[in-house]
Amino acid sequence: MDNRKIGVFDSGLGGLTAVKEIMNLFPNESIVYFGDTGRVPYGTRSKETIVKYTHDDINFLLSQDVKMIIIACGTASSAALPDIKGEYGVPIYGVVDAGAYEASRVTKNNKIGIIGTTATIKSGAYEKYIAEYNPDAQTFKKACPLFVPLVENGHFDTPVTKLVIEEYLKDIREAGVDTLILGCTHYPLLKKAIAEYMGDSVKLVSPGEEVAKFLRKKITPENAHSEVCDEDRYSYFVSDSVESFEELGSIFLETKINGKVNKIDIEKY
Amino acid sequence: MDNRKIGVFDSGLGGLTAVKEIMNLFPNESIVYFGDTGRVPYGTRSKETIVKYTHDDINFLLSQDVKMIIIACGTASSAALPDIKGEYGVPIYGVVDAGAYEASRVTKNNKIGIIGTTATIKSGAYEKYIAEYNPDAQTFKKACPLFVPLVENGHFDTPVTKLVIEEYLKDIREAGVDTLILGCTHYPLLKKAIAEYMGDSVKLVSPGEEVAKFLRKKITPENAHSEVCDEDRYSYFVSDSVESFEELGSIFLETKINGKVNKIDIEKY
Specify whether B43 is located in the same domain as B22: yes
Given A207, A240, A260, which residue is the final one in a domain? A207
B11: phi then psi, degrees, rounded to nearest 5 = -65, -20
Same domain, A118 and A251: no
Tell me if B145 and A167 make a contact (CB, 8 A cut-off).
Answer: no
Residues found in chain A: 269
Same domain, B183 and B103: yes
Count of C-beta atoms within a 10 Å radius of residue B68 = 20
Q: Say whether both A9 and A32 belong to one domain.
A: yes
Question: Which backbone phi and psi does B127 adopt, to 5 degrees?
Answer: -60, -40
pLDDT, averaged in runs of 10, over chain A (269 residues)? 96 92 94 96 92 96 97 94 84 94 98 96 95 97 96 93 98 98 94 97 95 92 84 92 90 89 94
| ipTM of the complex model | 0.87
Residues 6+ apart with CB under 8 A from A158: none
| In a shared domain, residues B147 and B230 | no
For residues A139 and A114, the answer to whether their CB atoms sit within 8 Å is yes
Sequence letter at residue B217:
K
Kindly state whether residues B219 and B122 are assigned to the same domain. no
**Residue A20 belongs to what H/E stretch?**
helix A16-25
| Contacts of B8 by beta carbon, 8 Å cutoff, 6+ apart | B15, B18, B19, B22, B31, B32, B33, B34, B69, B70, B72
Q: Give yes or no: residues B159 and B56 share one domain.
A: no
Measured in angstroms, the CA of B46 and the nearest CA of chain A are apart by 6
Predicted confidence (pLDDT) per residue in B110-167, tens digit? 999 999 999 999 999 999 999 999 999 999 999 999 999 999 898 999 999 999 999 9
**Rounded CA separation B240/B220 (Å):** 35
Residue of B nearest to A242 (CA): B46
Q: At what angle do helices A125-133 and A95-106 cross, to 10 degrees?
A: 50
Helices marked H in chain B: 16-25, 47-62, 74-79, 81-84, 95-106, 118-123, 125-133, 147-152, 159-174, 191-198, 207-214, 242-253
Q: What is the pTM of this model?
A: 0.90
Shared domain for A176 and A106, answered yes or no, is yes
Residue B87 confidence class, pLDDT cut points 50, 70, 90: confident
Q: What is the CATH number of the domain that holds A148?
A: 3.40.50.1860
Predicted confidence (pLDDT) per residue in A47-87, tens digit: 999 999 999 999 999 999 999 999 999 999 999 988 887 78
Domain count, chain A: 2
Q: B87 and B112 in one domain?
A: no
User: In A, which residues are within 8 Å of B38 by CB distance?
Assistant: 39, 45, 49
Q: Do A46 and B163 touch (CB under 8 A)?
A: no
Domain containing A24 equals 5-94+211-268
Task: Give mean pLDDT, residues B7-28.
Answer: 94
Catalytic annotation present for B73: yes
- Contact (Cβ atoms closer than 8 angstroms) between residue A77 and residue A96: yes
- B208-238 pLDDT, tens per residue? 999 999 899 899 999 999 887 766 899 999 9
For residues A115 and A200, state if they share a domain. Answer: yes
Mutate to test the interface with A, among B163, B168, B170, B247 (most CBs of A within 10 A): B163
